[in-house]
């Protein structure tokens, strides 16, 4: 297996015993013994060694005092450096706010930038956090149906913009379709945002997981986008830091940061991110690029393997994703609902998947299931053996 699995605090590839204790969110710690979770998008691999080392070193200092509302200066610098370099943008530290997970940031941004009754235009299907954020802000969503392969009908997209629309939500790369929007698609979204004076909420939490020969295209890299883009980043997908709850929000300028800190509660300490978790994120961005490259290589092989196995199942169609470590096969031709099929697989095959229910991904998810690939080849292979043996069609 790949070298990335070898790091100094994990002698074996994965530590099943620790996963059984620590991996929640529909994973090892919550499922019956022996069930394989291909559920929450959280890697089965331990966090990279440099993160562990940085945390140990920081703890030696002995203090966990209050951090600043926008995050530690070194966190903001590390975020700005890493993402501007990677994405070819001019993101500066004074535009960054540390946040306790992209999920929390989604709600905070929606609350600050949307009023009750406003609308957010989002894709369908898409990760539930967009509609969750809108709901918490008292806003509504309009959903544009996105197909895995198809062209976007921009007239239809534009027709969903109403006088109440204040924001377009973009998941780039897209969860659960695993699709990397093209530069021209992002430009088109920006043009509409400019035409109707809308915010763009760009959730780029999956941006580290883009497969060769593709590369991530950040909304911030599109000329003219920075002044109306609210960027969300996190560390849970790329570095296994979901439990540490750490990401950031990037805003158009320092004045927007000041307003956000005031209005979100960060100035009052009611919103903020653990300083320890910030230290973990700095190490992830500054010291784990080699680890990450190995991880993405492994995931690309997992994707190819899993797509081949899925194609062998009756009634399943899947298009190979460009990005993310989730697959979202269409299972509607099996004649089973996603919920019933997921239940069947959980009980008969002892493999847990996420049904593409409206609650989690919108109505466009109906007839799909979602599978995570961020595990070892052995486990993924065993999961597909079981699925095949118990496939009900």
Residues forming contacts to its own copies in the complex (CB under 8 A) are 9-10, 15, 18-19, 21-25, 27, 29-30, 40, 42, 46-47, 52, 55-56, 59-68, 100-101, 103-104, 106-107, 128-129, 132-133, 136, 236, 240-246, 265, 268-277, 280
Please tell me the distance from the alpha carbon of residue 128 to that of residue 134, in angstroms, as a whole number: 10
Q: How far apart are CA 317 and CA 38, in angstroms?
A: 18
> Which of 1, 7, 41, 6 minimizes the C-alpha distance to 323?
41
> Which one, 281 or 387, has the nearer CB to its own copies?
281
Q: Cβ neighbours of residue 295 under 8 Å, at least 6 residues apart?
A: 2, 4, 43, 45, 238
> Shortest distance, CB of residue 238 to its own copies, whole angstroms?
13
Task: Tell which residue, 148, 153, 171, has the closest CA to residue 316.
Answer: 148
Question: Do residues 207 and 183 lie in contact, with contact meaning Cβ atoms separated by under 8 Å?
Answer: no
135 vs 343, which CB is nearer to its own copies?
A: 135
Give least dist CB 2 to its own copies, A: 17
Distance of alpha carbon 228 from alpha carbon 67, whole angstroms: 28
CB of 291 to its own copies, least distance (A): 13
Q: Are 37 and 23 in contact (CB under 8 A)?
A: yes
Q: What is 90-141 written as a DSSP string?
A: ---GGGEEEES-HHHHHHHHHHHH--TT-EEEEEES--THHHHHHHHTT-EE
- Give the residue with the Cβ less far from its own copies, 218 or 277: 277
Q: Report in angstroms how near the CB of residue 334 gets to its own copies at its nearest.
A: 29
**Distance between CA atoms of 97 and 75, rounded to whole angstroms?**
9
Specify the residue, 166 or 245, whose C-beta has the smaller distance to its own copies.
245
Q: How far is the CB of 169 from its own copies (least distance, A)?
A: 15
User: What's the closest the beta carbon of residue 359 comes to its own copies, in angstroms?
Assistant: 10
Nearer to its own copies, 217 or 241 (CB): 241
Q: Nearer to its own copies by C-beta: 3 or 90?
A: 3
């Amino acid at each position: 297996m790949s070298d990335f699995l070898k790091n100094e605090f994990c002698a074996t590839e994965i530590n099943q015993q620790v996963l059984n204790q620590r991996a929640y969110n529909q994973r090892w710690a919550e499922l019956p013994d022996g069930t394989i979770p291909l559920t929450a998008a959280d890697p089965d691999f331990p966090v990279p060694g440099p993160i562990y080392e940085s945390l140990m070193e920081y703890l030696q200092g002995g203090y966990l005092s209050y951090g600043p509302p926008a995050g530690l200066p070194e966190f903001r610098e590390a975020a700005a450096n890493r993402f501007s370099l990677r994405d070819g943008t001019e993101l500066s530290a004074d535009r960054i706010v540390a946040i306790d997970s992209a999920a929390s940031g989604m709600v905070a941004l929606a609350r600050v930038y949307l009023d009750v009754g406003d609308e957010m235009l989002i894709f369908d299907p898409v990760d539930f956090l967009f509609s969750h954020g809108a709901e918490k802000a008292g806003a509504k969503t309009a959903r544009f149906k996105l197909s895995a392969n198809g062209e976007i009908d921009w007239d239809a997209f534009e027709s969903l913009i109403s006088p109440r629309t204040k924001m377009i939500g973009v998941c780039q790369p897209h969860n659960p379709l695993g699709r990397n929007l093209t530069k021209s698609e992002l430009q088109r979204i920006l043009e509409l945002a400019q035409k109707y004076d809308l915010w763009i909420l760009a959730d780029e939490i999956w941006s580290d997981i883009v497969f060769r020969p593709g590369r991530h295209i950040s909304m911030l890299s599109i000329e003219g986008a920075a002044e109306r883009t609210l960027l969300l980043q996190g560390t849970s997908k790329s570095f296994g830091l979901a439990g540490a709850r750490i990401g950031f929000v990037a805003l158009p300028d320092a004045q927007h940061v000041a307003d956000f800190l005031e209005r979100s509660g960060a100035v009052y300490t009611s919103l903020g991110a653990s300083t320890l978790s910030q230290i973990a994120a700095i190490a992830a961005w500054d010291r784990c690029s080699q680890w990450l490259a190995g991880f993405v290589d492994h995931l690309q092989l997992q994707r190819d393997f899993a797509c081949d196995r899925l194609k062998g199942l009756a009634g399943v169609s899947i298009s190979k994703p460009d990005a993310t470590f989730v697959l979202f096969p269409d299972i509607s031709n099996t004649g089973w609902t996603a919920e019933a099929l997921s239940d069947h697989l959980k009980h008969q095959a002892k493999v847990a998947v996420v049904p593409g229910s409206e609650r989690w991904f919108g109505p466009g998810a109906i007839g799909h299931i979602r599978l995570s690939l961020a595990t070892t080849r052995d486990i993924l292979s065993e999961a597909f053996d079981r699925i095949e043996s118990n496939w009900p069609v």
